[in-house]
Structure 1
Amino acid sequence: MSVDAPEKNEYPRASSGLVFASIVAYVGSLFLVMSFCSPYWIESYDGSFSSFKKMGLWEYCFKDFYYPNYQFPKKFNGCHNIFSHDYYMIREYLLPGWLLTVQICITLAFILTFLTLGLLALELIRWPLKTVLQYEWLMTKISHIASAVASGMIFLGILIFGFNAYRRDWLMYPKFNIISWSFGLAVVAMALLGAASAMLRREAKRAYEIRDQAKNLVMQMEMQEPGFHPSRSLSRSLHSGGYI
């Protein structure tokens, strides 16, 4: 029995389309991380002398702020996490239901984006080789769906935030505030992840069309391993496939 199997370094590498889609997804993830962590979703004008300074998904910054509905005269200063002890007394005011929904949407997008990056990293480095060759189409399909859902979650989050950012029952004197660059980064991340999803969809279709060829390569790899003994069904498939 003779098998003309390619050398290990001759197995197909990741396509240029997959590499480019991965680069777009990685860049989108960087914008998402910066938007996720930075406290500049909305801020006050410099010359407004407002007690509110800026906020992000997880942080508020005040200077000499008094919450009018709090029975004791407590002054809030500095930047603190929204779940910190400093904001315990006014957390219900700082975290209305719609903002909590935005946090959930962006957090889900954050998780799905890094799931996508993990799968794409395995595909690019071809590890484990047999699994990637055999299930590349499935891994790419999952990456496409995850990035598409992540882009949709970001869109929903920025839509809810945009409609509610100037509510008068949230931050006082909303006319002195302006949506800032962290919000813009989320918009860019949404667009990049959406573009990456479209490219990954095309790559998943291409990988699905050549899945039989990939299975044959995996079979040849297994036949090269020491101590390999083909089963009766495998022998029949080898004869029918023209390997012997």
Structure 2
Amino acid sequence: MSDIQYGRIIKDGLWEQNVVFAQMLALCPLMAVTTSGTNGLGMGLASTAVLVCANVLVSLIRKVVSAQVRIPVFIVLIATLVTIVDLAMNAWLHELYKVLGLFIALIVVNCAILGRSESFAVKNGVVASAVDGIAMGLGFTGALVLLGLVREFFGAGTLFAQASQLLGPSFAFLEVQVPGYGGALLMILPPGAFAALGFLLAGKRIIDRKLAEREAASAEPAAA
């Protein structure tokens, strides 16, 4: 696979086919855990780890597993990976696990992970599948962190609260408290999540339209 194709895979994962902003998948964990940027980052990294490992393993066994049973096999494979991540977070990131615990287990039913296994990894080699998993995972993580930061800022007046529990004491500088602002509770509640997501989706649509108009304008002189 050429560099241009790898670039396309990365662009699709981060922007064009973003799990949240383009495909509208994994909205359950998105709405539930994004009460802070730190929670969104933790869930995003856990999902990325599962997604990359699942893509690689599916690519390795794609010629061995028959088409009749591949979906159950993929689900068992993903469930095994999620169990490993769940136990690891409970052991080493227990405070964050207490917040995300239920939704870590629900990564098994995340449509994005099974979807990438079925639509990409089963048709491509190991390296391409790994790149796809990283790109899609980072795109999903970015969406979780962005929505989490928006809700956290307007809802609690903080940014990356308790980041040191996830990333270590050296990252305590990320924890910001906005002086004199206590936040609006609505943004922490589910209605605030839907409102914030709606504005972010609208923003992406506007950016996509501007980029399309710019490409069309630059293509006209070349065509002439």
Relative to its length, the structure with more helix (as a share) is 2
Q: TM-score, normalised by structure 2?
A: 0.29
Q: Max radius of gyration: which structure?
A: 1
Relative to its length, the structure with more strand (as a share) is 1
Q: TM-score, normalised by structure 1?
A: 0.27
